[in-house]
Amino acid sequence: MSLKPFTAVWLATLLTLIVFGQVSRAQTPIGDAAPPSAQIANDAASLSSVDTKLAVPENRWERVLLSAEDYVASGQSITSQTELYKELLDDVLASAKPLRESSISEMGEAEALLDALGPAPDSEKNEAEPDEVADQRKQYQAELDRLTSAIARAEVAIVRIETLKTGLAGLAREQLANQLNQRTTDPWSVTSLGRGVKEFALSIGHVLAAPASWRASLEPAEWRDLADRRLPLFLAGLVATALISLLLRGMLKRRYAMQPVPRA
């Protein structure tokens, strides 16, 4: 039985694509991008511990930000490290924004309490106020200073995070450009073709050996159950599918097949 020209071309194209895919996998880049320094990689690994993944505490913000700044300044990018730093910066941002908002809210309350005490006495005029009021004024002023410092730290962290995210995005773009411009071995060289054909043959061998391997993995009871109950159902399904396909083919052929043009 001879193949139709279209079928032969289709099979040849499919075979070529499979072999070329194996050849492409066999290609080896001439050079890889240099990894980040060991210190930066260790910092990233330690910063990704369990307690920093959920919410980075405020006392660790600076460590995260300094490590990320060193990573961006190095100009060396690895996808996994870049994604890790993005996650860590998002964690810091998720802690900084609520801190800023809550501090602003509490700051209004502290200012209202401080204003309720009235103006502070003028030391130049030797004015004095009761010790209890003076202690409250110091307490409210200390709270106001603490909240002002927290707001400033949060805002500085947010600005640094936005700058670092821009830097990480630049590293990712640069890495992508380097990968696109990276020289690889010639896919049509003898070495690449040989490796591709070898891997293709191994793949075909794995496919052909899969049924025997699957049969060997079954227990005797499982095989008997499969042969007695499931295999007949599977074969019946195949026969039913083939019959339905033939019926549909006949119906479509009768309905849409080209009819000969009657001669005049």
CA distances from 157 to 48, 89, 204 (A): 19, 10, 56
pLDDT value of residue 224:
76
pLDDT value of residue 140:
83
pLDDT value of residue 160:
92
User: For the chain, which residues make up each domain, given as ranges?
Assistant: 38-181, 221-255
Say which DSSP state 55 is in: -
pLDDT value of residue 182:
72
Residue among 249, 49, 85 at smallest CA distance from 167: 85
pLDDT value of residue 1:
44
Along the 264 residues of the chain, how does pLDDT read in single tens digits? 444 555 655 666 656 655 555 545 544 443 444 444 455 555 555 554 434 333 456 778 888 888 888 888 888 878 888 888 888 899 889 888 888 888 888 888 888 887 787 777 766 666 677 778 778 888 888 888 888 888 898 999 999 999 999 999 988 888 888 777 776 677 777 787 788 888 888 888 888 888 888 778 877 777 777 777 777 777 888 899 999 988 888 888 887 766 666 665
pLDDT value of residue 138:
85
| Whole-number Å distance between alpha carbons of 42 and 36 | 10
Say which DSSP state 164 is in: H
pLDDT value of residue 27:
47
Q: What share of the chain is helix, strand, coil (3-state, %, to 5)?
A: 80, 0, 20
pLDDT value of residue 251:
85
pLDDT value of residue 30:
39
pLDDT value of residue 32:
42
pLDDT value of residue 264:
55
| Whole-number Å distance between alpha carbons of 71 and 81 | 9
> What tokens were used for 210?
């899969």
